[in-house]
Homo-oligomer: A and B are copies of this chain.
Amino acid sequence: MSTDRNRRRIPDATVSRLPVYLRLLGEQSAEGVDSISSERLAELAGVNAAKVRKDLSYLGSYGTRGVGYEVDYLVYQVRRELGLTHDWPVVIVGAGNLGQALAGYGGFGERGFPIAGVVDVDASKVGSVLGGVRVRHIDELAQIVATKRVNIGVIATPGAAAQEAADRLVAAGVTSILNFASIVLTVPRAIEVRKVDLAVELQILSYHEQRRAGGAIHAVPGSPPRSATA
């Protein structure tokens, strides 16, 4: 605490890249690599080396000029900055297809986000076991959040139920939400929300495909579009 750990604000763009660096650094460490240059890390991450250096500089001056960064030490610093020095239990709302897949996906707990519980409104789903966790009724949500000190909620419900799920999560005391439903959630300003929307991603790809096809309206089967230019 004597260290100048002031309220440095790290740019959003950097925060979103730190997890990528972290995973790559972990892999390098596992392969026995002691030291890594910004150039090499940039290559692995698919970005510019200057960007890597600037990103890492927000954590502090942890590199050695002429040498690079000590991998293990950098892993430690990135983990600390991301708050990964301890586990963050998460609760999943919705035990449908997606909820099941998320619960069944082992990598959750391994990466420091153990599943504190899975809840659903549907009584017929309550009691079944997903990924080693028994599905509980959503009325137990508040209790789960309180006893397991959950800060992060995951919404894996259909869109129609998502706002209700968000309201309940907030009421239960959750302060961060990862939303897989295709709706815009309304939550208090203090709540951090991130959205993962499959349909949006596909439609963005569709845009680029359409563009690639030269904007030709009809890509009807039988006549592959061919750009005249270039």
Q: Which residues in window 171-190 of A have CB below 8 A to B?
A: 175-178, 182, 184, 186
Please, how many angstroms separate the alpha-carbon atoms of A150 and B46 in the complex? 27
Chain A, interface residues (CB within 8 Å), range: 35 or more
Q: In this assembly, does A124 line the interface, its C-beta being within 8 Å of a C-beta of chain B?
A: no
The answer on a CB contact under 8 Å between A207 and B15 is yes
Copies in the complex: 2
Given A202-B178, A209-B151, A220-B80 contact (CB < 8 Å): yes
Q: In this assembly, does A226 line the interface, its C-beta being within 8 Å of a C-beta of chain B?
A: yes
The answer on a CB contact under 8 Å between B15 and A204 is yes
Cβ contact of A199, chosen from B6, B86, B111, B220, cutoff 8 A: B111
B residues in contact with A84, CB < 8 Å:
203, 206
B residues in contact with A83, CB < 8 Å:
206-207, 209-211, 213
Per-residue CB contact flags for chain A residues 75-105 toward chain B (1 = under 8 Å, else 0) read: 1100111111110101000000110111011
B residues in contact with A76, CB < 8 Å:
220, 223-225
